[in-house]
Amino acid sequence: MMESELCYVTAVNAIQQFRAKTLSPVELMQAVIARAEAVEPQINAFSFTYYEEAMAAAREAEKRYARGEERPLEGIPLAVKDETY
């Protein structure tokens, strides 16, 4: 699967692929970060990004899958929309 396509994988499909070891949380996070960086100048969606922390969490998720100790939604990227008026 191409990196750009990974950004549109469903959470259910990603988890299935993590368990089957056909996709890793690190690969998915790298694809999501690459896409966010590519479109951010045009859409200005993020006030703050925590890419280093996200990659560290993805590496931890990968270890949990390897040990069979994954938690619900382990390794699924998440963005939070924060609006303050």
The pLDDT score that the predictor gives to residue 85 is: 66
Domain assignment present for residue 47? The answer is yes
Please name the residue ranges forming H helices in the chain.
3-6, 11-20, 25-43, 51-67
Give the structural domain span for 54.
3-67
CA atoms in the 13 A half-sphere facing the CB of 40: 11
Domain assignment present for residue 11? The answer is yes
- Identify the weakest region by mean pLDDT among 3-7, 10-14, 29-33, 51-55: 3-7
Domain assignment present for residue 52? The answer is yes
Number of independent structural domains in the chain: 1
C-alpha to C-alpha distance for 81 and 73, rounded to whole angstroms: 19
Over residues 59-85, the pLDDT tens digits come to: 999 999 999 999 999 999 999 887 776
Domain assignment present for residue 10? The answer is yes
Between 34 and 82, whose confidence is greater?
Answer: 34
